[in-house]
A and B are shown apart, each in its own frame.
Chain A
Amino acid sequence: MPTLHTVNKSPYERSSLRSCLDHLAEGDSVLMMEDAVVGARRGGKFVEVLKAARPSCTVSVLAPDLAARGMKADDLAEGIALVDYGGFVDLAVANARVCAWL
Chain B
Amino acid sequence: MLRARGDRDLRFGIVVNEGPYTHQASDSAYRFARAALEKGHEILRVFFYHDGVNNGTRFTVPPQDDRNLQRQWSELAEAHKLDLVVCIAAAQRRGILDANEAKRQGKDGDNIAPGFRISGLGQLIEAGIQADRLVVFGD
Contacts and interface: CB of A to CB of B under 8 A. Distances in A.
A92 interface: yes
Given A85-B34, A93-B8, A102 B136 contact: yes
Interface string B126-138: 0000000111111
A49 interface: no
Interface string A9-46: 10000000000000000000000011100000000000
Contacts, number: 54
Contact of A92 (B28, B38, B135): B135
A89 B10 CA distance: 10
A86 B39 contact: yes
B10 A93 contact: yes
A73 interface: no
Interface of B: 2, 8, 10, 12, 17, 23-25, 28, 31-32, 34-36, 38-39, 41, 133-139
Interface residues of A, number: 21
B39 A98 contact: no
